[in-house]
Chain A
Amino acid sequence: MRRILLNRFVLVPGVIALATLAWNLYVASHNHGLVTGRVIDAKGEPVADASVALWVYNFTTYQEQMHVKTDSAGNFRFTDNPSHRIQLSAEKPGVGRSERVPVFLYFRAEDFSLDAPLKLARGE
């Protein structure tokens, strides 16, 4: 039995199958489409009530898919991102707008938290 299990024709496909199973379990437990992050102004202060847009890649271009507003601490949260390749941007009249930040995910609807906050600046 041990000899069969250590045979390379069993061992290699077995390891690949196990890795695939583990990956799929990980994907199944982390694909809720959550995208979170923060919006700050030029001074680094959190911006409340800013509009954050989620852009989804559509073969050739990015299309604006949905909007959310930031809370009082400048945090935003999308709950149903459908894609693996998105962009995030934020704006608030009177404060400014941010650059579009591209985000590449390892799988579709991966739960993701943006490390660097979206920074609003005038004239962007």
Chain B
Amino acid sequence: MNRYPRWPVHLALIMASFVMLVPFYWVAKTSVSGENIYAYPPSIVPAKAQPFFYVDVWYAIPFARYFLNSVAVSVIAVLANVIFNAMAGYALTHGFRGKNVVLMLFLSCMMVPFQATIIPAYLITGRLGLLDSWLGLALPQCSTIICIFVFKASFDAVPRSLIDAARIDGLPEWRIIWHIMMPLSTSAIATNVILAFIWSWNNFLWPLIMTRSADMQTLPLGLARFLSYQEDTTGALYAFCIMVLAPGLLLFLLAQKEFIRGLTSGATKG
């Protein structure tokens, strides 16, 4: 039985949600109305809602091509993240000489911003012959340390006896990961998928540096290109933002339960 009324908590949460959601609502409203954001008095409901700014965006730039590039790069990044991070996370659940050094190295690497390593990343990608390609666009995001720790936390929660039993049955390590650890770590997988997708989807700097042809640009670069094309951008710009945001939002809404469980599994396990 609750000793305290819950409504103050709900009220605070509703107010916080309101503050968070108002900018999204404003972007969506402007994308269908084209109203200037500085208009006074501001209108809460769009006066003449119409979808034509979305049509403008679709034809102003090669949206379908940019969308395909973004999807391809994100899919590569997501698959690579799930595979490589799972392998790394599984390795970190074992005791081995120098494990603490590796963990400290990982943690310290998290503090190095990508901007600091972008030149070596560019040179390596160039040496591999992957400049201006989907794989090259996805390469620096094929594994992320945060997601390795998400897998590690999830794998740590799997009883050791289960892994030992699998070993006694003769399963090789990769099959232990694939057939035992992964099915028990759906939340960690969802977290990896969402984070890798959103980071890859929203990435601007790396595609800006390494793409050479207009055909290989991704949606964030398309947004910059679109801004340079259009003169009156209010409605179309916001429509573009919605079109770029929609896939990430949809993915998050689809997998939010697993995502939140994945992020909290390390914190709440016994």
Contact = CB atoms under 8 A, between A and B. Distances in A.
B230 interface: yes
A83 to B, nearest CB: 8
Interface in A100-124: 104-108
Interface of B: 50-52, 55-56, 59-60, 229-231, 250, 254-255
Contacts of B254: 8-9, 12
Give the secondary structure class of A's interface.
loop
Contact of A85 (B51, B56, B230): B56
A85 B50 CA distance: 13
Nearest to A106: B55
Contacts of B230: 59-60
A84 interface: yes
A18 to B, nearest CB: 15
Nearest to A8: B254
Nearest to B190: A9
Contacts of B231: 59-60
A86 to B, nearest CB: 12
A85 B52 contact: yes
24 contacts: A8-B254, A9-B254, A9-B255, A12-B250, A12-B254, A59-B60, A59-B229, A59-B230, A59-B231, A60-B230, A60-B231, A84-B52, A84-B56, A84-B59, A85-B55, A85-B56, A104-B50, A104-B52, A104-B55, A105-B55, A106-B52, A106-B55, A107-B55, A108-B59
Give the secondary structure class of B's interface.
helix
Interface of A: 8-9, 12, 59-60, 84-85, 104-108
Contacts of B52: 84-85, 104, 106
Nearest to A60: B231
A80 B255 CA distance: 46
B268 to A, nearest CB: 24
Nearest to B51: A106
Given A104-B52, A106-B55, 11 more contacts: A8-B254, A9-B254, A9-B255, A59-B229, A59-B230, A84-B55, A84-B59, A104-B50, A104-B55, A105-B55, A107-B55
A105 B230 CA distance: 18
Nearest to B255: A9
Nearest to A9: B254
Contacts of A105: 55
